[in-house]
Amino acid sequence: MITVREVSKSFLNQQVLNQASFTCQKGEIVGLLGPNGAGKTTLIRILNGVILPDSGEISINGYNPVTDGHNIRKVTGVVTESAGLYHQMNAIENLAFFADIYGVKRKSRIHDLLRQFGLDEHKSKLVGTYSTGMKKRLALAKALLHEPSILYLDEPTNGLDPDGISMVLSYLKEYNYQNGTTVLICSHVLHQLENVCSSFSFLDNGHIIDSGTLPQLREKYSTAIKLNIHTNMKIENGHAFGFPGEQLENNHIRVTVNYKDQISFLLKNILVNHWVHSVTIEEQDLETIYFKVRSGQHE
């Protein structure tokens, strides 16, 4: 479990983290979201004990990174934005080197990971000749070598093509499911994380401005419910029984109600003279919520 309470950090009078607080339960995949320069990378570095916070309290599985950094680093895997690989070495040499560093005895794990991340064919090529996506996949393999109980991933999908993104994210989800690994993913590519993370924390100007699961955040930031209805009713004058609506293609209309109780009222009225084949609530996606959270903060 990761607990961060009112952590602040400055570099040369520039405040990077400002009383940031959040919690990540054991086995959770948490998305740490925020724009570039929000303090995500600094937070990961502080959590791993490589830089010291100016103030605040942190607990990682009961350890304090300031005093027990070494114990934390033994059980954490990190993918940094720059991948941190040796370009003059090939994939096997890179993984063998880090296996020694992390005390990995089972060398077959190197080949298993190379296979899992689709790098088996390229294992003897110098990493300097790899594409960004291949480097990212190898960096993830490196982070998973010692089967860490906590994974910090800083922009893990940067530079990956759609297939690579899908491969990495589904592997992470599966890995988390099988091993109960706690995963903290920093990203600003929101749509990729929607189906991977169990909760989200929004970081802006060094401060966590809100946290929660997607349903919790939807509940909190939903100002209206958008219904997509498959019906032969047509929207005229932009309204349907007093609710704002719009005509969509192929016998679909979109009507916006303010409360869930109003859905039955609307449908009852439509069904008097029209057929209704389906009704779906258009959920707000993570990106919409993200901008609402941030705009709320800046208002």
Partner 1 sequence: MNRTIVKAITKKDIKDIFRSRTLLLTLILIPVIFCLIVPTGAISSILYFNFDLDADTQKMLDKFLSKVGNEEILAFSLQEQLVYLFVNYIMASLFLLVPVITASTIAANSFVGEKERKTLESLLFAPITAKELFVSKVLSSFIPAFSISLISFLLSGVIINVLSYPTFMELIFPSLNWIVLITLLLPMVLILTILLNVLISSRVKTYQEATNLGGVIVLPIIAILIGQVSGLFFLELSLLIILSVAIFAINLVLLKQIAKYNDRHLLFEKQI
**Does 31 interact with partner 1 (rule: CB under 8 A)?**
no
**Does 15 interact with partner 1 (rule: CB under 8 A)?**
no
**Does 88 interact with partner 1 (rule: CB under 8 A)?**
yes
Amino acid 284 reads Q
Least distance to partner 1 from the beta carbon of 175, Å? 19
Residue 5 contacts residue 34 (beta carbons within 8 Å): no
Choose one: 73-81, 193-201, 205-213, 241-249; the region binding partner 1 (CB under 8 A).
73-81
**Does 136 interact with partner 1 (rule: CB under 8 A)?**
no
**Does 87 interact with partner 1 (rule: CB under 8 A)?**
yes
- The C-alpha angle with vertex 140 and arms to 135 and 146, in degrees rounded to 5, equals 135
Strands (E), the chain: 2-11, 14-24, 29-33, 55-60, 76-79, 150-154, 182-187, 199-204, 207-212, 225-231, 239-240, 243-248, 252-257, 276-282
- Choose between 16 and 217: whose C-beta lies nearer to partner 1: 16
Least distance to partner 1 from the beta carbon of 78, Å? 4
Interface map 137-166 toward partner 1 (x if CB under 8 A)? -----x------------------------
Least distance to partner 1 from the beta carbon of 173, Å? 23
φ, ψ of residue 89 in degrees (nearest 5): -115, 155
φ, ψ of residue 274 in degrees (nearest 5): -135, 165
The size of the interface with partner 1 (CB under 8 A), counted in residues, is: 29
Which strands form 243-248's sheet, in the order they lie side by side? 239-240, 243-248, 252-257, 225-231, 276-282
Q: Which residues bind partner 1 (CB under 8 A)?
A: 11, 45, 48-52, 69-70, 73-74, 76, 78, 80, 82-89, 97-98, 100-103, 142
